[in-house]
Amino acid sequence: MRYSPIDSNLFVKNRKKLSAKLAPNSMAIFFANDEMPRSGDSTHLFRQNADLFYLSGIDQERIILVIYPDCPNPLYRDALFIRRTDELISIWEGHKYTIEEAQATSGILNVYWEDEFDTVLPALMAYCENVYVNINENDRAATQVPYKDIRFANRLKQQYPGHQLKRLGPIMQYLRSVKEPEEIAMHRKACEITRDAFIRVLKFVKPGVMEYEIEAEFTHEFIRQGASGHAYTPIIAGGRNACVLHYISNDRVVKDGDLILLDVGADYGNFAADMTRTIPANGRFLPRQKEVYNACLRVHQAGIEMFNVSYSLDEYNKEIGRIMEAELIQIGLLDKIAVKNQNPKTPLYKKYFMHGASHFLGIDVHDVGPRYEKMKNGNLFTIEPGIYILEENMGIRIENNIQVQAQGNIDLMYDIPVTVEEIEDIMNS
């Protein structure tokens, strides 16, 4: 494990919060993610199911978590089933959790071997009335692979048709969106690593480098500081490439006079950072680039101040759009009269700012959360306005990670250079 151990009290608290949300005499069951085939006999790097990690801290394949607060047998009210290990597995794959280690990490005393689950399940089903299943309900998801949780849900429908299946998605969205202090500390560490990597890149970039060379500088610093790597596929987009919102090929040469959009973030202990900065390839913003950049920065700074519990995320995104509209008029991209007469369902600013200004952040970079409910203290959001001018071969986005607090929002990226002057000073130091 690369990251520092997380206090098991975090996972104990998270399970208690979930237990309080379950209907009487109900059981919730969570499965680790599948080990996904890559090619031949190899698999992709394992990434734990976010809900299972949130509730247990166990970062290993072939894990099952059972939460059944009203179970008549106290041995299965909180129960963890882990992969049985042996000397052969240790030689070929390395160390796996022992029962004692799983107990210490999760705070769950009742830990069993995974191959015992099918023996225990019928007895648990005989007593419970409802089973909560953990279907991926992220509203950005378009999953086509029948993953473990959905295979299990289908199995329950066939074997136990008399039981009622319930959705964990809405509950987990609410719980995961409000961060505990231990979670914020992990996100802060991910942001610190991202900051150091960005400063490294500012000192490295010059005309003629390849986009993937810049990506490699980020990767080096992430790994060097104990991150598992990137929290998502990085975007290193020079010039016109920055107008492609999900540009990830990162295979072009950076030219003199280009702006480079860098959308990157470290993953530290399964907690994501999500940063975007836009920098000049040669270390100096051209006058027009500076004008557009500062317009985007003003929207970004206004957005940081605007986070509060009077907005839902959906309302917040619409309000940022109105602020952006005024800035686009100011820099000559929109006509004031045309904006006044526009169809409000298709605002003109969308030509230059076509994505949302914010999303929930957490274990997943596009994390779950109730976007139509009012924001809550402890929510963690991005703020990421952008201006994309295809005819000028220019794309600019600026993104920080903000924790909502009644006593004043906390910018977890407050110390990452963002102004024109800060960026130019470091690039020319």
**Total-model pTM:** 0.96
Question: Residues with Cβ < 8 Å from 390, sequence gap 6 or more?
Answer: 240, 243
Partners of residue 43 on adjacent β-strands: 37
Rounded CA-CA distance 48/105 in Å is 15
CATH superfamily of 181-427: Creatinase/methionine aminopeptidase superfamily (3.90.230.10)
**Tell me: domain 8-177, CATH 3.40.350.10, correct?**
yes
Residue 46 is predicted with a pLDDT of 92
CA distances from 392 to 276, 306, 339 (A): 20, 30, 22
pLDDT per residue over 345-372, tens digit each?
999 999 999 999 999 999 999 999 999 9
Task: Give the confidence band of 134 by pLDDT, cuts at 50, 70, 90.
Answer: very high
pLDDT per residue over 26-71, tens digit each?
999 999 999 988 999 899 899 999 999 999 999 999 999 999 999 9
Query: Is 136 within 8 Å of 143 (Cβ atoms)?
Result: yes
Residue 48 is predicted with a pLDDT of 97
CA distances from 186 to 31, 35, 190, 191, 361 (A): 23, 25, 6, 9, 12
Residue 145 is predicted with a pLDDT of 81
Structure tokens at 283: 């270390």
pLDDT per residue over 75-91, tens digit each?
999 999 999 988 898 89
Place of tokens 């610093």: 221
Task: Give the confidence band of 406 by pLDDT, cuts at 50, 70, 90.
Answer: confident
Structural domain spans, the chain: 8-177, 181-427
**How many angstroms separate the first and last alpha carbons of the chain?**
36
Residue 302 is predicted with a pLDDT of 97
Rounded CA-CA distance 138/366 in Å is 9
Check if 8-177 and 181-427 are the same fold. no
Rounded CA-CA distance 13/205 in Å is 44
pLDDT per residue over 91-122, tens digit each?
998 999 999 999 999 999 999 999 999 999 99
Task: Please write down the HEC assignment for all residues of 310-377.
Answer: CCEHHHHHHHHHHHHHHHHHHCCCCCHHHHHCCCCCCCHHHHCCCCCCCCECCCCCCCCCCCCCECCC
HSE-up (13 A, CA, CB side) for residue 219: 11
